[in-house]
Structure 1
Amino acid sequence: MAYMVMRRCGGDGATPSGAPLPVPGITLRDGADAVRLLRRNGQWRVEAGPFPPAELVDAFALLEAASLPEAIAQVRAWPGGDDATVYELREAGCAGGCAGFDERGTVGGNVPRRDPALTRYVFFIRADDVLEQDLVPPPEVIAAMNRHNEQGVRDGVLLAGEGLKSSARGARVRLAAGASTVVDGPFTEVKELIAGYWMLQAGSPEAALDCMRRYPYPGDGDVTLEMHRVREPAAAPGGPPER
């Protein structure tokens, strides 16, 4: 079973560091660079940051574990620094069978192709009261999403994507030097939660935003997406990370 672990940028004493995670994952650029793509009443608009730190994530990774307690135990074994760090763990997978994908490929056998000339962007879909209910979309909606994902990978645009179960299936681990605490979900601050993500590559932020405007989201209601640029590894061994 897969669990997504997200490093929170604020709240509960969490301090964003921009440092890589203790396991392979994705680190994001400063949250001040984030923008939100909002669909309201069928119309799209872009909202520039900065956004409240408590709503942001600055890094994430997928862990394999047999259960949530086992995933929590893995995170509690990570090193704690002088400043507290909060990790949110959520069960990966979206209701209804929309298939996640990453560098290992899609269920259709398509493997994402990274183009170093393009910039990687992560889009988080922000949770709402509906998504927190783990409602199952109609089969035709799930099929349309899966087809779109497969085509996006074939086109060399989409690199990864995964849904997240409601926060009732999650927990938060707070790590500090020599101590750790765990708070079980659900979490009441729904606007601070994430319901899934996509990672894509594009030649510009505008091209990335346009790609996500065309995604076949379930239903015709409101959608809030948050775009972050990926913090790429240093080009030279031992060099500083990209900022």
Structure 2
Amino acid sequence: MRFMILVKATADSEAGVMPSEQMLAKMGQFNEELVKAGIMQAGEGLHPSSKGARVRFSGKDRKVIDGPFAETKELVAGFWMWKCASLQEAIDWVKRCPNPMPGESEIEIRQVFEAEDFGAEFTPELREQEERLRTQVEKQARPG
């Protein structure tokens, strides 16, 4: 199973406060453990929402909304993509994570849909397309 691990934003992360050298070292060590265990597939920090945008959809209409966005507690400051045997395994790994922010912080765990979750609506043709796209993305991600 794949899980998206969402590090929630705080007032500091939204203000652009960068992590300390000590925090970067702790997070680097944790990431090494994840990689050695075969859990981590990707992980990145995100710039504050003031450097971002949203696109709101209404039928065929599109409206661009520039950041920053209100409700800091609903924003994401970073993420990991993990492969775990269960939700409980993902929870256990998150509990080992260094606190990603000074003070209180929160990390959300969400399971990623897999092809079999979509049932008959995900036709053989759509499955083939999905596999072809995943293969292309993997090739593009490889250096050289």
Taking structure 1 as the reference length, what is the TM-score of the superposition?
A: 0.46
Structure 2: which 5+ residue stretches go unaligned? 128-144
- 1:131 match: 13
Deviations 1:132-190 (A, max 9, x none): 11112221221221232133112201111111111100111123343211111111121
More helix by share: 2
Is residue 10–residue 101 contact of structure 2 (8 Å, CA) maintained in 1? no
Aligned pair 1:201/2:83, yes or no? yes
| Post-superposition offset of 1:212 | 0.7
Counterpart CA distance in 2 for 1:150 and 1:225 is 19
- 1:238 match: 123
- 1:192 match: 74
Equivalent residue runs for 1:13-92 within 5 Å: none
Structure 1 moving runs of 4+ over 3 Å: 234-237
SS at match of 2:11: coil
| Count of matched residue positions in the alignment of Structure 1 and Structure 2 | 123
More strand by share: 1
Match of 1:173 among 55, 68, 77: 55
CA RMSD of aligned residues (A): 2.4
Paired residue type of 1:196:
G
| Post-superposition offset of 1:220 | 5.4
Counterpart CA distance in 1 for 2:45 and 2:55 is 21
Higher RCO (CA-CA < 8 Å; seq separation 6+): 2
Pick closer, same or farther for the CA change 1:138–1:231 going to 2, 3 Å. same
- 1:211 match: 93
- 1:140 match: 22
- 1:229 match: 111
Paired residue type of 1:225:
I
Q: Percent identity?
A: 37
Is residue 51–residue 68 contact of structure 2 (8 Å, CA) maintained in 1? yes
